[in-house]
Structure 1
Amino acid sequence: MGSPLRNVSRVRWGELRDATGAAAGAVPTLLSRIAYGDEDTARVAIDDLGDAICALGFVVAEATAPTVPFLLELAGSPHVACKAELLDLLGRICRTDQWHSAAAATRDRAHDASYRQQTGWEAAARTAVHAGRSVIEGVASSVRPEEATPAQKLLQMMDETPPFPEL
């Protein structure tokens, strides 16, 4: 396995917005803290990253989908702490439907079109989580229950979370 996060610099984080509306330039640093920090550092970084890419646990943004492959990479890495927290964040991202719900509630109204971009972010984020199924299955087969159990729960949730309908 290569070094974790070697492709993180290929993403133009400064051009993406996080869930707070700020530039997503802090995402690589937070990912690095998760990858290379001790357990306490990783836990704080996961919490901060969650605020940035899945605000309030249910609002994703433009930077969310590009972050998911790195979360999956970290979750599948044997030396990363806090896998349960990473899997929980991936689950929150996958379950998110805030923008789709808002768009559905405004269907046939003038401002329905204003949700198109945000619903695209949700769809892309959910698709990115589903694309990492093999990584999550690998963690689910771990002999460590503190890793396997949250991964199994995420797989079940993914099975119960259908793709978004076309709006």
Structure 2
Amino acid sequence: MGVLLKGVSGIRWGELCDARRDRAGGIPALLSRIAYADEETARLAVDDLGDLICELGFVVGEATAPAVPFLLELAGAPHTSCKADVLALLQRICRTDQWHSAAVAARNDGYEANYQEQPGWEAAARAAVHAGRPVIERLAASPHPEEAAPARELLLLMDEVPPFPKP
């Protein structure tokens, strides 16, 4: 994968499910495109990756939390061409509450067994975004408004959304 994304090959992506409940084996290639492709290709890769790890902008999967540190690495890398897009994806991941809300509703309706794993995926993904706060703070202090503004928005969101969904 190059200097960036060295740890990507250490994740068993093919054993994880993405947000669509398919195998997540395509995630490393998309991360690589974000890191090394031209700006247009990188932006398309962010969109495609968003479909896999934060489907519809609010549904995460098992592979979301393992992908977040790589998104943070890309956001903090000096040559990433689409930092605003990466930060917007991180915002969507941080904001997700779909599985937790569904589990609460299912508990009230007697279907709690249908939501054993998913709220944990959501909590882990949100916690992973929060763990990247130092990277996001550095970006928020950037002299480049195209990366500083979305980073500040993400920091504000992180301040109002706890790392774990409320029980």
Is the structural similarity TM-score above 0.5? yes
Residues 126-145 of structure 1: pairs in structure 2 closer than 5 A: 126-145=126-145
Aligned to 1:34: 34
User: Following the alignment from structure 1 to structure 2, what is the Cα–Cα distance between the partners of residues 28 and 140?
Assistant: 27
Q: Give the Cα separation in 2 of the matches to 1:124 and 1:90.
A: 13
Q: Greater CA deviation, 102-111 or 31-40? A: 102-111
Q: CA deviation at 1:22?
A: 1.1
Please list the CA deviations of residues 50-86 of structure 1 after superposition, one character each: whole Å capped at 9, or x if unmatched: 0000000000000000000000000000000110000
The residue type equivalent to 1:142 in the other structure is S
Partner of 1:101: 101
CA distance in 2: counterparts of 1:108 and 1:80, whole angstroms: 45
CA positional deviation for 1:165: 2.4
Query: Partners in 1 of 2:166 and 2:6 — Cα distance?
Result: 34
Specify every segment of 5 or more residues in structure 1 that has no aligned partner in the other structure, as ranges: none
- Deviation, 1:108, is 3.9
1:3 to 2:3 alignment = yes
Residue 164 (structure 1) aligned with residue 165 (structure 2): yes
Tell me how far apart the structure 1 counterparts of residues 70 and 76 of structure 2 sit (CA, whole Å): 10
Normalising by the residue count of structure 1, what TM-score does the alignment of the two structures yield? 0.96
Cα distance in structure 2, aligned partners of 1:11 and 1:165? 29
**Deviation per CA, 1:129-148, whole angstroms, max 9, x where unpaired?**
00000000011110000000
Amino acid of the residue matched to residue 97 of structure 1? D
Q: CA deviation at 1:90?
A: 0.2
1:14-48, Cα deviation, whole Å (9 max, x unpaired): 00010111110000000000000010010000000
Q: Which residue of 2 aligns with 1:75?
A: 75
Instruction: Determine what percentage of the aligned residue pairs are the same residue.
Output: 65
TM-score w.r.t. the length of structure 2 is 0.96
Give me the whole-angstrom Cα distance separating, in 2, the residues matched to 1:73 and 1:124: 17
Unaligned 5+ segments in structure 2 are none
Following superposition, the deviation at residue 116 of structure 1 comes to 2.2
